[in-house]
Amino acid sequence: MRDLLGAEWLKAWSGRTWWIMAAVAVFMGLLGSSGATATADHQLAEGMTDNAAATAEVIRSWFSVLLASLLFGGVFVSREYGTGAVNRSVLLSGGRTRLLLAKTIVGTAMGVLFALLAVLLAPLSLWAFFGMFGLEAEWTREATLTLVGVFAVIVLAAPWGVLLGWVIRHQAATVATLLVVTLFVDETLFALLPEVGRFTMQISMGSVYRDGKEEALSIPWALLVITGWLALAGYAARRRLVTRDVT
């Protein structure tokens, strides 16, 4: 298993996927934090928020890095179907389940790296953008818990993408599905039917990074729902991998 993990780790760093997703992660994080700072500047001037809440909001804006982690996981698997390399990977891995497990572990490890990047840049962006607007940051327990939540959802997004990549298989379809579900379906369902939508993956992740939706699940229940979705995706991925041709 160690050799298989090493081989998959090398694959994760081959090609342009990792640095494109890293660039996307940084861009989205900076875009979100600059927008949150501009909004905080207006709200502070109007007395609609305070420095502690504004600080946590800028930290929270880095949750958007989960999209890069999610897409990396999906592409990490589906590109092998696109190139036809998945057949060779199955033959050399010693078993389909071993390959699924190895890719999930390596994809999750890459998610940890994306999460560490966000944890490093979030406080730096706070310092930079608050300085530009002449605002004063106030780091509180809420900011720390928010940063922990951001780290957690970015890590969890990676195996979610990996497992859906195994289920969908086609690279373009995987990317499109992940984007549509994450950006539109979950949020729309929550807006229309919050009692149902709060059990979706994205809304549950929002609870973990403390986005403050009133009808969302509590953090423990949200983590349980996320675990359930990952378990369901893992079951579907393995069943599809071991019962269908890898073509």
Nearest to 157 by CA among 140, 181, 134, 173: 181
pLDDT of residue 214: 84
| Amino acid letter for position 192 | L
Low-confidence stretches of the chain (pLDDT beneath 70): 247
pLDDT of residue 243: 85
What was the pLDDT predicted at 65? Answer: 94
Q: Supply 41's token pair.
A: 């500047």
pTM, entire model: 0.92
Return the pLDDT at 228: 96
Percent of the chain predicted with pLDDT > 70 = 100
pLDDT at position 247: 66
